[in-house]
Chain A
């Protein structure tokens, strides 16, 4: 890969109860770039994100293998206090619904100011000014006045701005945004995506953008990691995946989107359903739905490195996307 990664996840395995929800997730995110983690619901995107953030802990969940390197240091191997010190300052997260990250009984300005007091040692007054400043950066109108409002007083779109303000307050190097616009109306989604893109360019932040929406990927991402059944099955630049997917699942996903030239025709479908991850399986997890399936697919495919940071986990990758 040409650019140096700030975040590298390798061979991550996570269990929730007896279910192996993440089975070999791996990708790397370059400084100042956007990597989209793309997959359908239940593919393990959120659990991967929460594992990176240290939010998956026993007894609910257990990381059974893998590394998460942030600036070369393994987050999974470091003591909890060191890890906590990195959250907000070096890596932070925006959730689908910002309410889940906010305390309902404290004003939003107070909650952002607390970050500055805890991590920057600012006085109350300085911290408050800094908080208003951040609310202005996420383009909340009348930020000084609104800083005194409580989370429920904000509309859906404004709430996501508050969530972004919390995440960017301490200028982290990496922001993970988990479906940050999925619950929003299209015109508001466009505003929030543009805001994320602008902040990222201005601050040089790396963005791990989790989404199920191919349109969002096309609009925002430099690179894409496609996830299926807990595994990253393809990694490539956004342009490459759209031009020529190299994994049958990526190809099928792209075929299922309605496009103008498909009007009046049947959309391609992925038959069947995702596998039950509580049942152990030695084969390729996609094989029950795959039209390229061969006998070898009873063995889990290794990751083929196609060069230039591109990879695919498929025995038959050479045949995919040639149509």
Chain B
């Protein structure tokens, strides 16, 4: 088994909600509420869950853009959550965040080449000055952008091309891990396929490991070796791709599968009734199993007793009273 590059243990992020002129704390939003995950070298871990379940907060903690309230982030054997100053900056290079909308991270007044060159200016030790132009050209080529794109500005690019620039910038720092937060959700199917292929090629060529976040199961099934399903700040099921897709054991994962419209008209009519309701607010999560108000299988105990995590098969864990 390959070495672990990223390990998070009992990760928690609570945001105090303040109100009024005195900014009194009126409640706590539990964005991430006890997540433990492990990513091995060269592997893709898919993280799936609906909006507000804490995926992006998790991504920001994995990449040291946000400090956890408690818990640990171990990156290549170093405690990322504890590092400060120069040590933090150096560690951060090894794990880069790719956003859903790269426009937010691209300066509209900088050309593509200048954007990709910027990490070298900020981190001069990455490459000697004389080699930077060549590195920029190599990086653009690596992500499938030609010399013709180098002089363009972000608004002159398509969504897919902007995403490629974002990836090139991240790769400039020679990371080992990319945390991709819904990188293709806003793209059209045909462009989505281009970026998915690119990520797969980069993984093979550069030996990268990915945390790939999505709000549905579709693209994750294609890319992920292992999958974690999140609901209201917690991982409710995690396991090898073929287990989570072929033998989903948590009622929420099963509902996600049932809700995904499959591109095959012959399967129409076989669909189960959709899950009712919408995810509750993380400001006031239900007690017991937080899925119980929507769960078609809920029992009395589910409303009061949090379910234990059960290993139902090697590496396949499920948090549900009915599992096992």
Contacts and interface: CB of A to CB of B under 8 A. Distances in A.
Interface of A: 40-41, 155-158, 185-191, 193-194, 212-221, 238-239, 242, 252-254, 256-260, 262-263, 266-270, 273
B51 A185 contact: yes
Interface in B242-283: 245, 255-256, 258-268, 271, 273-276, 278-279
Nearest to B245: A260
B7 to A, nearest CB: 26
Given A218-B267, A263-B222, A266-B197, A257 B258 contact: no
A263 B245 CA distance: 12
Contact of A262 (B158, B194, B222, B259): B222
8 contacts: A187-B274, A212-B188, A215-B262, A242-B264, A242-B265, A257-B218, A258-B221, A269-B194
B66 interface: no
B158 A273 contact: yes
A74 B267 CA distance: 38
Nearest to B161: A273
A220 B278 CA distance: 22
A214 B263 contact: yes
Given A40-B190, A185-B215, A221-B265, 16 more contacts: A40-B188, A155-B278, A186-B50, A187-B256, A188-B278, A190-B259, A194-B274, A215-B218, A215-B263, A218-B261, A218-B263, A219-B262, A253-B189, A256-B192, A257-B193, A262-B222
B167 to A, nearest CB: 16
Nearest to B273: A194
Contact of B278 (A41, A157, A218, A219): A157
| Closest 3 A/B residue pairs (Cβ) | A215-B261, A190-B274, A258-B222
A146 B196 CA distance: 43
A178 B210 CA distance: 35
B278 A212 contact: no
A218 to B, nearest CB: 5
Q: Which of B215, B217, B261, B264 has the most CB of A within 10 A?
A: B261
A204 B21 CA distance: 55
A190 B278 CA distance: 11
A254 B140 CA distance: 29
Contact of B189 (A191, A242, A257): A257
Contacts of B188: 40-41, 212
Interface string B156-167: 001000000000
Interface of B: 50-51, 158, 188-190, 192-194, 196-197, 200, 215-219, 221-222, 245, 255-256, 258-268, 271, 273-276, 278-279
A259 B200 CA distance: 15
A190 B258 contact: yes
Contacts of A188: 50, 278
A267 B267 contact: no
Contact of A267 (B222, B273, B278): B222
B116 to A, nearest CB: 21
A187 B275 contact: yes
Contacts of A214: 189, 263
B236 to A, nearest CB: 14
B215 A269 contact: no
B189 A40 contact: yes
Nearest to A215: B261
Contacts of A267: 193, 196-197, 222
Given A187-B256, A219-B271, A238 B219 contact: no
B263 A187 contact: no
A6 to B, nearest CB: 23
Contacts of A41: 188
Contacts of A263: 221-222
A191 to B, nearest CB: 5
B274 A254 contact: no
Nearest to B220: A258
A189 B276 CA distance: 11
Contacts of A269: 190, 193-194, 197
A221 B264 CA distance: 11
Contacts of B216: 186
B222 A186 contact: no
B194 A191 contact: no
Contacts of B271: 190, 219
A269 B196 CA distance: 10
A226 to B, nearest CB: 12
A259 B256 contact: no
B302 to A, nearest CB: 18
Contacts of A186: 50, 215-217, 256, 259-260
Contacts of B192: 256
B190 A270 contact: yes
Nearest to B49: A185
A145 to B, nearest CB: 17
B215 A215 contact: no
Given A191-B274, A218-B261, A185 B222 contact: no
A216 to B, nearest CB: 5
A232 to B, nearest CB: 18
Nearest to A257: B263
Contacts of A190: 258-259, 261, 271, 274-275
A253 B69 CA distance: 44
Nearest to B261: A215
B282 to A, nearest CB: 14
A187 B221 contact: no
A56 B311 CA distance: 58
